Structure 1
Amino acid sequence: MKKKVILAYSGGLDTTTIIPWLKNTYDYDVIAVCVDVGQGTELEGLEERALSSGASKLYIEDVTDEFVEEYVWPALKADAIYEKKYLLGTSLARPLIAKVLVKYAELEGAEAICHGATGKGNDQVRFELTIGALAPQLKIIAPWRIWDIKSREDAMDYCVMHDIKVPMSISDSYSRDKNILHMSHEGLELEDPSLEPQYKKLLQMTTPLEEAPDQAEIVSIDFEEGVPVKLNGVAMSGRELLEKLNIIGGRHSIGVVDLIENRVVGMKSRGIYETPGGSILYNAHEELEHMCLDRQTFGFKQQAAVKFAELAYNGEWFTPLREALTAFVDETQKTVTGNVQVKLYKGNIILIGVTSPYSLYNAEIASFTTGDLYDHKDAEGFIHLFGLPLKVRALMRLSREEKGE
């Protein structure tokens, strides 16, 4: 009986090429596994493509709900943004995909898992750290670190040589990743940071800014303990809410990011990210936190958010630190409940209003009008104590100057 390998299969150029390569190189029985995290129409015709490329079978598992509830929402509650711009769309999905690959490797009795991540990218790290954390006994095969294929053109030539139809052309061979949270684009003209992206050709979730409607749209979002639960007053699942917000945000050119980022492996790369619904949620969630969290908690949480984002980006999801940070974040979210209204207009998210039963904003204190809870005279003593170190330092300097030092 042939040994089996589980292939993380997307149906794109790389994984289409990998199937015949695995068979020719290892004589493996190749079992393709496509993990659905909200790719949508990308899954159409996938089974036929996998089998015609030489796979013995294809599993497709829809884990979109789990992705939203167990990965996207924890990152949202943490306000995790990598290098101030990237909402971690691909990063969050990879650990879950790897988890499902391990599941099917155990089901099929496979000895190895194969992925199509390149030797220059982040995904190889994310896949392999997760596999190592969940099933260290499994062998990992990364063709881009082994084979003689050096480019996407070489990959297309390899497919042609083996009579396999490729799913794209050279002129449109961007490296893309899509899920319910975002879509990323890399390659071709994007590799030159001096060039403006061809947005009208590139964008798939988002309307180009020049084509956004002239009429603004108001969106209302209700949160419970940091999790969005209602859109425009209608209760819905996380999946449905994010799907609808993607449509609304995409219509108004929300959430397009052009980022030159620092990859895990040490180099910089340029990516264009579309995250329309996620951008609205992150913005609204932060506004609610401004109202519901005290100064110390909000300040420390900002620091924790940076580390949380780094862990997610690096593929360190199944680690004690990430789990501990999530526990901390969940504690902070117990009072992050309320409603946020924002106005969407030509790429902008403009706050209209925030309400919460746990609001720490007190109009009687904040108002310029004197109230019972705050006396203006109290500020004098506070400023004296708060500035005491500065005053002592200045007095010491004056003393030294008088002595001629």
Structure 2
Amino acid sequence: MLLRTVQRVCAGSVSRRGIWRSCRMVAPARVSQYVCVQSPGRQDGSNNRSGRAPGIVVSAAAFSLFSKLVEDKDEGLTPEEENIIYHLKKSKLSIMKGEMEEAEEILHKTLHLAHKCQSKRAIIYTYDLMANLAFLRGEYNNAEKLFKTTLAYMINEGVKQDDNSFIEISLKMASIYAALDKNDLAVAGFQFCILSLDEKIEKEKDLPEDLLTAEERTNTRLLLGLCLDSYARYLVANSQLLHAQTLYEKALRICREEQGELHPQTVNLLSDLATVLEAQGRFDEAYTYVKQALDLAQKTDHPNYHVILGNMATILLHQENLVDAERIFKEALTKAEEKKDPGSIYHIQEGLSELTRRKTAQEQNL
């Protein structure tokens, strides 16, 4: 299996004009069962050489609620609310700096302040950050509990289950279940996210601009793209390649339409499609997609250019084009070393070893 391109992992809220947004989902009256997250790329023990870090998109779930507290000038901020905002910003900065214990300590203090002033929006946002932090630290069971608590507060505040922020958290929960090998819950979570967003998009397609802005439509479609991408990576890790291919194709179409051909995530998805086709032994088709990804990566100075190079070399190896495969493997290795990417270096060296074995076998057969 090829390396897969890395999807950026963020600490703090995700920009609505960045790469894939975050996600949400859950079936009515089953909040305690499903809830989701971006699915891990390669799970331990799997054969999926995912270049994407098994991580979480620490997103804006609940941010739409709490942001009003920060940005609504008419509402006005109390000294208590200003103090909470200060602590939340401080905790996110600590997370970005990798100071996880300090971030956790700040968030516990923030939660106490939020409860003390009875700000439901602040409570929701703080619980969401605590859950994200737990996930980043690999504390999946704790993260699950905290995300469920966040969803419970959101429901009490009247947030609908097809609200994007609700689906974001649900997607995170699905990824947690995937990481914990709770596969039935993971699949139910991913499917619920996708179904909920499909239904929402269909329901809202004829709404006028004054009721639903173009940006809101784009956000929902990009959220669907992220859900499709996340579920596809889960399926690849579980060797359900045809289904994964279909989801990648849908995600790629959304990404191209909403973010353009040159967007880094478009390149990622082209490379991911190549990995799925390569795993099915469809090497010529895989080469077509990885060639597109590589051409775009060259134009845009893509941060994972070395990964895509390695993918192309692997496909060329399968096509028995050993001369070009060796040349590109060596270029990929040089760039991976420059990036100080040990995972890519390891897989590229594996590819070079296989190439050497094939060259030796060819020489012996002459």
TM-score normalized by structure 1? Answer: 0.25
TM value normalised by structure 2: 0.27
Bigger strand share: 1
Q: Which has the larger radius of gyration?
A: 1
Which structure has more RCO (C-alpha within 8 Å, separation ≥ 6)?
Answer: 2
Higher helix proportion = 2
